[in-house]
């Protein structure tokens, strides 16, 4: 395995944020080989996770570049897993699953170290499934990690245990959560003692202590809430006193500047505690502190603080203010793709609207909740949940592909729809995020998002068989690939629906491109497949920016509906030669 240092040193290609501690900066500048550079950047990425997940991902991706170049298989797999975990925390689930698939593919080519990496991957997969609302799948993954405990890294087992505490708390099983919390505390103490016996300190010890404390506080608060519902007031007060004691310890430990996210979550818990005690001013003060901390993190990924504020205001029957805070939480959760939290927010918004007599709004958000639940299921449907077990081939014995070739193949497969060869949703998400960094984000370089749906596709399957339907999908994909511009992102978005995304100068350019695609599909000779039957498509599009992709996609979906209602086989909205259509910001 070669690992020669670069002649020019680490170079200027990685600019570390100013918040990175001096010792980590020094380690980066002292790195003389690709392996050392990758490890140094991984430590930086880990440090940045609490403060800025976006920066953490960017640094980890640079670490991946050096890890691959070092030809260190284990380090490459660890870096892939780190990126997957951080993307999941940032609610970029499709990308997270793609990197996780690559991790598992690579780890399955290894022996003992690969077995440990697979356990880590299983724990991360459980976290992703839980975020998407797949509680049973998450529970299976976490318990599987603990069941394979002998010989595993005790920190991996601790993380799986803490994930179980969070999961059981959120599904309203606090007794089970507290049982696992006690075990987690004992496991952490054992790990710390073992390190101290070797004259060392557990790396990131405060991070794990905060994890134990924060999840324990949450479990006690949920226990107290349920006791209150059962009218067991004395027991409820006891649970709140326990939560307060652990909360105080956590807040003292989280006082360090870099522990922003744990501080924010603990302030959310403090607000909940005071709300359960009926101390409304204190509860609101803690919620507003949580909101302020969330804003320093980047509120686009942290809706919990705004949800806490909405709950305090609702408890005081300040319905209008509570609705405003809940709408802020909804906007954040929607933009970040936080599906589980999104369901919570929409449920509470529905109640808030009912309390104000706005029944139509309550019905609307209930329908929206169902739509987002379907979206989460769509993401899960695209995931290949391979068993996290080492392959029988071990370290590539008897295989013709090297581990680097396997990794490249896994990267491609993770982003590609197997039937059509186009991007799948994971690949689309990855390329869209890269588009955000491209120059030309002004109104003259808008992002066109278009949805193309095959008209009456169900009848193709019913009359000609699903095999013919698959052939039709492949043909449409080929026609789109040949007709669209080379810089157009093409994705099979689900079933018979395709998504096209490209930078365009204005609405007329978008319409011209899409009308050309529609006409090519209509003019194609479908006789060999459909025995003389014609095939057409309907197209809806909208213009926006990569940063507002979700809103632009929703507008495109509305235009697709308009195209179908207007008679199908058309592009909506149409653009006349003398018609100006403004480009969205």
Neighbouring CB atoms inside 10 A of 444's CB total 11
Domain boundaries, the chain: 415-572
Dig out the tokens for 53 from the structure: 């997940």
Q: How confident is the model at residue 13 (pLDDT cuts 50, 70, 90)?
A: low
- Averaged pLDDT for residues 6-13: 40
Of 356, 289, 266, 280, the closest CA to residue 311 belongs to: 280
Tell me the pLDDT tens digit for each residue of 205-237. Answer: 998 999 999 999 999 999 999 999 999 999 999
CB crowding 277-286: b at 16 or more within 10 Å, else e: eeeeebbbbb
| Contact of 548 with 539, CB cutoff 8 Å | no
Q: How confident is the model at residue 297 (pLDDT cuts 50, 70, 90)?
A: confident
In this structure, are strands 497-504 and 571-572 parallel, antiparallel, or unpaired?
unpaired
CA atoms within 13 A on the CB side of 195: 15
| Contact of 3 with 31, CB cutoff 8 Å | no
Lowest mean pLDDT across 241-245, 328-332, 360-364, 559-563: 360-364
Dig out the tokens for 401 from the structure: 């592909």
Burial of 327 (0-12, 13-18, 19+ CB in 10 A): middle
Tell me the pLDDT tens digit for each residue of 449-489. Answer: 999 999 999 888 888 887 888 889 989 998 998 898 878 88
Better-predicted residue by pLDDT, 386 or 529: 529
Q: In what order do the strands lie in the sheet with 489-494?
A: 489-494, 497-504, 446-454, 537-544, 571-572
User: What are the angstrom distances between the C-alpha of 423 and each of 89, 99, 165, 259, 367?
Assistant: 23, 15, 36, 38, 29
Neighbouring CB atoms inside 10 A of 46's CB total 19
pLDDT at 582: 40
Would the pLDDT of 17 be above 90?
Answer: no
pLDDT at 407: 63
For the chain, what's the residue count? 585
Of 149-153, 357-361, 406-410, where does the model show the most confidence? 357-361
Dig out the tokens for 545 from the structure: 């920016």
| Contact of 17 with 24, CB cutoff 8 Å | no
Whole-angstrom distance, CA of residue 531 vs CA of residue 325? 58
For every residue of 231-258, DSSP letters joined together read T-HHHHHHHHHHHHHHHHHHHHHTTSTT
pLDDT at 511: 94
Dig out the tokens for 512 from the structure: 């011209």
Better-predicted residue by pLDDT, 441 or 364: 364
Dig out the tokens for 330 from the structure: 């909804």
Tell me the pLDDT tens digit for each residue of 375-432. Answer: 665 565 555 554 555 444 444 443 455 666 566 655 665 667 777 878 887 778 777 7
pLDDT at 53: 75
Tell me the pLDDT tens digit for each residue of 244-260. Answer: 999 999 999 988 666 88
Main-chain phi, psi angles of 271, to 5 degrees: -65, -45
Which residues pair with residue 449 across a beta bridge? 501, 542
CA 300 to chain centre: 12
Of 10-24, 160-174, 296-310, 412-426, where does the model show the most confidence? 160-174
Lowest mean pLDDT across 8-12, 316-320, 328-332: 8-12
CATH architecture assigned to 415-572 = 2-Layer Sandwich (3.30)
Tell me the pLDDT tens digit for each residue of 557-574. Answer: 999 999 999 999 999 999
User: How high does pLDDT run on average in the chain?
Assistant: 82
pLDDT at 476: 93
């Amino acid at each position: 395995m070669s690992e020669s240092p670069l002649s020019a040193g680490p170079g200027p290609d990685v600019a570390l944020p100013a918040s990175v501690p001096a010792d980590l900066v020094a380690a980066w500048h002292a790195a003389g080989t690709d392996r050392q550079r990758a490890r140094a950047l991984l430590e930086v990425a880990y440090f940045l996770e609490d403060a800025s997940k976006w920066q953490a991902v960017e640094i980890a991706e640079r670490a991946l570049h050096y890890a691959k170049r070092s030809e260190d298989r284990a380090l490459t797999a660890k870096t892939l897993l780190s990126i997957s975990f951080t993307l999941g925390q940032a609610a970029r689930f499709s990308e997270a699953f793609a990197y996780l698939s690559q991790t598992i593919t690579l780890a399955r080519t290894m022996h003992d170290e690969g077995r440990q990496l697979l356990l880590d991957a299983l724990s991360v997969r459980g976290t992703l499934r839980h975020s998407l609302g797949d509680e049973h799948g998450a529970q299976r993954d976490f318990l599987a990690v603990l069941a394979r405990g002998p010989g595993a890294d005790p920190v991996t087992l601790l993380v799986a245990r803490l994930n179980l505490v969070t999961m059981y708390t959120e599904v309203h099983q606090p007794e089970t959560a507290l049982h696992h919390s006690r075990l987690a505390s004992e496991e952490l103490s054992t790990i710390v003692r073992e390190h101290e016996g070797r004259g060392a300190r557990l790396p990131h010890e405060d991070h794990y202590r905060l994890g134990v404390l924060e999840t324990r506080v949450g479990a006690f608060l949920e226990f107290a809430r349920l006791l209150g519902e059962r009218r067991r007031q004395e027991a409820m007060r006891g649970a709140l006193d326990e939560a307060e004691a652990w909360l105080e310890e956590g807040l003292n430990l989280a006082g360090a500047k870099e522990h922003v996210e744990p501080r924010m979550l603990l302030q959310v818990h403090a607000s909940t505690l005071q709300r359960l005690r009926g101390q409304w001013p204190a509860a609101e003060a803690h919620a507003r502190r949580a909101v302020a901390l969330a804003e320093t993190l980047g509120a686009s990924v942290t809706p919990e603080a705004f949800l806490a504020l909405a709950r305090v205001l609702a408890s005081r029957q300040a319905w209008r203010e509570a609705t405003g805070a809940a709408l802020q939480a909804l906007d954040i959760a929607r933009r970040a793709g936080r599906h589980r939290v999104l369901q919570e927010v929409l449920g509470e918004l529905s109640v808030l609207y009912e309390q104000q007599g706005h029944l139509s709004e309550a019905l609307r958000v209930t329908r929206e909740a169902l739509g987002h639940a379907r979206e989460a299921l769509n993401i899960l449907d695209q995931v290949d949940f391979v068993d996290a077990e080492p392959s029988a081939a071990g370290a590539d014995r008897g295989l013709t592909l090297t581990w680097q070739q396997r990794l490249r193949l896994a990267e491609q497969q993770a982003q590609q729809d197997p039937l059509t060869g186009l991007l799948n949703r994971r690949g689309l998400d990855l390329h869209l995020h890269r588009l955000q960094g491209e120059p030309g984000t002004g109104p003259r370089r808008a992002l066109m998002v278009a949805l193309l749906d095959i008209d009456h596709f169900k009848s193709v399957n019913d009359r000609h068989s699903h095999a013919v339907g698959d052939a039709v999908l492949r043909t449409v994909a080929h026609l789109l690939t040949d007709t669209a511009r080379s810089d157009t992102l093409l994705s099979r978005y689900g079933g018979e629906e395709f998504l096209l995304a490209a930078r365009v100068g204005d609405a007329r350019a978008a319409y011209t491109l899409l009308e050309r695609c529609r006409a090519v599909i209509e003019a194609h000779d479908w006789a060999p497949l459909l025995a003389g039957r014609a095939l057409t498509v309907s197209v809806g599009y909208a213009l926006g920016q990569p940063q507002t992709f979700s809103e632009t996609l929703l507008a495109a979906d509305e235009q697709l509906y308009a195209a179908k209602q207007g008679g199908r086989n058309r592009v909506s909205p149409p653009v006349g030669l003398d018609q100006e259509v403004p480009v969205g910001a």
